[in-house]
Amino acid sequence: MPDADELRARTQELLAAHPPGTTERAAFLEARFDAGLAWVHFPEGLGGLGLPRSLQSVVDAELEAAGAPDNDPRRIGIGLGMAAPTVLAYGTEEQKRRWLRPLWLGEEVWCQLFSEPGAGSDLAALGTRAVRDGDDWIVNGQKVWTSNAHNARWAILITRTDPDAPKHRGITYFVCDMTDPGVEVRPLRQITGEAEFNEVFLSDVRIPDAHRLGGPGEGWKVAQTTLMNERVAIGGMRLPREGGMIAPVAEAWRTRPELRTPDLHQRLVQLWVEAEVARLTGERLRQQLVAGHPGPEGSGMKLGFARLNQKISGLELELLGEEGLLYDDWTMRRPEIVDFVGRDAGYRYLRAKGNSIEGGTSEVLLNIVAERVLGLPSEPRTDKDVAWKDLAR
């Protein structure tokens, strides 16, 4: 098995054969994937070398120092952070080879069709139906809060396939073609004025059984892999010291002495420390991921991320006063990425309100941390063994 030095040498061979300064971006990314340097912990032939996840940092450091292009991870974050680990864990060899390469290269954008108008915090209560029809499944229903559905080629989708089973056991997981004529995407305008979210209507959408991940009725188990990776992707992103939301606040404090007050100074210092603690905790979480799959700790990170972002953005608005209420663009844009740092303080304040909802509400995550991290007794669930069709709605 290659060690760090051998992996560094392999990366230098890639750079020598495909110099970033003279190689087209797409060609370089293809060569990197084929060399197994896309995600080194994935199997050979699927962009990896079957190595420990920790060695990815060796590759990334060499490529960054050489000015090599990346695959624009913010634009394809759902594919990288949620779809890819799920396809790797539950996909057939044919599915892995079909989807993972164009996903990593950014040729195909992915979205997530999980939440519904009546099944958000209680996701297992979902009602979108999939009915078997020969080698296909016919899907009807509605999904909501779907980021990037307007740009997506594929979607990870959970459906109700057995209404006679209890809600957690009658779910099946599919990959849905977003170009199917039965898929309708409508924008949801948010408090920021833009529409990065969507509602998606599925009308007689035909999905081949070959696009199913896991067995019929095993969708909840498969979805847990997606959700745990999602929360790590949201709450455990790698940041430099004083990175993220705390950066523009600290910069304003240093460059605008007329804004300072003793009270705001005390609060800024406290939040700066909390941001640094969160950053270091995220590093520890990523180190734990090297040894296995993400667990409930990611829920705690995502919970802290939401709270911290909302407190920091609130302090920034107080620091800037009336100036903080200014907002450069209220038009309904359809962004591909959410840019917190590159926008106005007013945008950050409004958009941070969604952090405690997306990727699992803070209330749900508190339950997960209580039960699965702290080992506290679970809340009584009277509907656990009741058939989904008999549940009150």
In this structure, what token pair is assigned to residue 227? 């959700």
pLDDT at 393: 76
How many domains does the chain fold into?
3
Q: Is residue 79 part of a domain?
A: no
Please indicate, yes or no, whether residues 188 and 244 belong to a single structural domain of this protein: no
pLDDT at 131: 98
pLDDT at 20: 96
Q: Is residue 282 part of a domain?
A: yes
Report the CATH number that the domain containing residue 320 is assigned in CATH.
1.20.140.10
Q: Which is more confident, 346 or 175?
A: 175
Please indicate, yes or no, whether residues 185 and 257 belong to a single structural domain of this protein: no
- Distance (Å, whole) CA 141 – CA 274: 42
Q: Is residue 118 part of a domain?
A: yes
pLDDT at 295: 62
Q: Which is more confident, 194 or 139?
A: 139
**Residue 61 contacts by C-beta under 8 Å, 6 or more apart in sequence?**
none
- Chain Cα centroid distance, residue 79: 8
Please indicate, yes or no, whether residues 273 and 251 belong to a single structural domain of this protein: yes
Query: Where among 217, 250, 278 does a domain terminate?
Result: 217
Please indicate, yes or no, whether residues 315 and 193 belong to a single structural domain of this protein: no
Q: Is residue 255 part of a domain?
A: yes
Mean pLDDT, the chain, integer:
89
Q: Is residue 119 part of a domain?
A: yes
Q: Is residue 160 part of a domain?
A: yes
Please indicate, yes or no, whether residues 249 and 202 belong to a single structural domain of this protein: no
Please indicate, yes or no, whether residues 211 and 233 belong to a single structural domain of this protein: no
Q: Is residue 76 part of a domain?
A: no
- 272-329: pLDDT as tens digits: 999 998 888 877 776 666 555 556 667 778 888 899 999 999 999 999 988 888 777 6
Please indicate, yes or no, whether residues 210 and 333 belong to a single structural domain of this protein: no
Please indicate, yes or no, whether residues 149 and 289 belong to a single structural domain of this protein: no
- 51-108: pLDDT as tens digits: 988 899 899 999 999 999 999 998 999 999 899 999 999 999 999 999 999 999 999 9
pLDDT at 181: 97
Please indicate, yes or no, whether residues 259 and 167 belong to a single structural domain of this protein: no
Name the pTM for this structure. 0.87
pLDDT mean over 144-165: 96
- Distance (Å, whole) CA 127 – CA 280: 40
Please indicate, yes or no, whether residues 176 and 234 belong to a single structural domain of this protein: no
Q: Is residue 57 part of a domain?
A: yes
- Domain hosting residue 269, numbered range: 223-373
Report the CATH number that the domain containing residue 197 is assigned in CATH.
2.40.110.10
Please indicate, yes or no, whether residues 286 and 338 belong to a single structural domain of this protein: yes
pLDDT at 22: 96
Under 8 Å between Cβ of 51 and 40: yes
Which of the four pLDDT bands, split at 50, 70 and 90, describes residue 378? confident
pLDDT at 355: 87
Please indicate, yes or no, whether residues 334 and 368 belong to a single structural domain of this protein: yes
- 201-255: pLDDT as tens digits: 999 999 999 999 999 999 999 999 898 776 666 555 667 788 888 999 999 999 9
